[in-house]
Structure 1
Amino acid sequence: MGQPKLAVRHLNKTFQSQRRPLVVLQDINLNIYPNEFVCIVGKSGCGKSTLLNIVAGLVPPTSGQVLMDGVAVQGPGRDRGLVFQSYTLFPWLTVAQNIGYGLKLQRLPKPERRQRVAYYLDVVGLTQFAKAYPKQLSGGMKQRVAIARALANEPDVLLMDEPFGALDAQTKEQMQQFVLNLWEQTHVTVLMITHDVEEAIFLSQRIYVMSAHPGQIKAEIGIDLPTQRDMELKLTPEFLQIKRQVVHTMRDRLEPG
Structure 2
Amino acid sequence: MLSPTGAKLEVHNVCKSYGLKGKQLRVLDDINLQIHSREFVCLVGASGCGKSTLLNIVAGLAAPSSGAVFVDSQLVTGRPGSDRGMVFQGYTLYPWLTVAQNVAFGLQLRQMSKAEQRDRVGYFLNVVGLSKFANSYPKQLSGGMKQRVAIARALANEPAVLLMDEPFGALDAQTKEQMQQFLLELWAQTHVTVMMITHDIEEAIYLSQRVYVMSAHPGQIKAEITIQLPERRELDIKLSPTFVDIKRQIIHTLRHDVATVSL
- Aligned counterpart, 1:172: 176
Asked if 1:43 corresponds to 2:46, the answer is yes
Asked if 1:227 corresponds to 2:234, the answer is no
Q: Matched residue of 1:253: which SS?
A: helix
- Aligned counterpart, 1:251: 255
- CA RMSD for the aligned pairs? 1.3
1:79-118 maps to which residues of 2 (within 5 A)?
A: 79-118=83-122
**Does the CA contact (< 8 Å) of 2:216 and 2:257 recur in 1?**
no
1:47-196 maps to which residues of 2 (within 5 A)?
A: 47-76=50-79, 77-196=81-200
- Which runs of 5 or more structure 2 residues have no equivalent in the other structure? none
Q: Matched residue of 1:243: which SS?
A: helix
- Which runs of 5 or more structure 1 residues have no equivalent in the other structure? none
- Aligned counterpart, 1:24: 27
Structure 1 position 23, deviation (Å): 0.7
Structure 1 position 253, deviation (Å): 2.8
**Residues in 2 aligned to 1:172 and 1:19: alpha-carbon distance in whole angstroms:** 43
AA partner of residue 93 (structure 2):
L
AA partner of residue 16 (structure 1):
G
AA partner of residue 97 (structure 1):
Q
Runs of 4+ in 1 over 2 A off after TM superposition: 253-256
AA partner of residue 210 (structure 1):
M
Structure 1 position 19, deviation (Å): 4.9
**Residues in 1 aligned to 2:119 and 2:257: alpha-carbon distance in whole angstroms:** 52
Count of residues in correspondence between the two structures:
255
AA partner of residue 29 (structure 1):
N
Structure 1 position 68, deviation (Å): 1.1
TM-score, normalised with respect to structure 1: 0.97
AA partner of residue 193 (structure 1):
I
Structure 1 position 85, deviation (Å): 0.2
**Residues in 1 aligned to 2:130 and 2:71: alpha-carbon distance in whole angstroms:** 31
- Aligned counterpart, 1:216: 220
Identity %: 67
String of CA shifts for 1:171-213, please: whole Å, max 9, x gaps: 0000000000000000000000001000000000000000011
Match of 1:239 among 243, 257, 261: 243
**Residues in 1 aligned to 2:103 and 2:64: alpha-carbon distance in whole angstroms:** 30
